[in-house]
């Protein structure tokens, strides 16, 4: 469901299926200039902890 936001003239996207496939980056920029993800859509995305940053490195001792 897409509903208008009352605070900023943005369209709130609650369902990720409502986000279209874009044919160009310019088209995507134009879309996101007038749309924003709502709480339900953000909750469905889940945490990003596992995909952000490099994996943890094991601690190593200095060579004597």
Closest-CA residue to 43 (of 3, 1, 2, 15): 15
Q: Give residue limits of the domains in the chain.
A: 2-45
Return d(Cα 12, Cα 3) in angstroms, integer: 5
Return d(Cα 29, Cα 35) in angstroms, integer: 10
- Find out whether 33 and 59 touch, Cβ atoms under 8 Å: no
Closest-CA residue to 3 (of 37, 28, 33, 26): 37
Which backbone phi and psi does 61 adopt, to 5 degrees?
-85, 145
10-residue stretch averages of pLDDT, the chain, 64 residues long: 62 94 96 95 79 75 78
Instruction: Report pLDDT for 55.
Output: 73
Mean of pLDDT over the chain: 83
């Amino acid at each position: 469901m897409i509903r208008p936001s009352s605070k900023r003239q943005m369209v709130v996207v609650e369902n990720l299926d409502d986000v279209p496939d874009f044919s160009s980056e310019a088209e995507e920029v134009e879309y996101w200039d007038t749309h924003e993800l709502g709480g339900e859509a953000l909750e469905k995305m889940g945490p990003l902890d596992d995909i952000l940053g490099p994996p943890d490195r094991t601690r190593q001792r200095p060579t004597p």
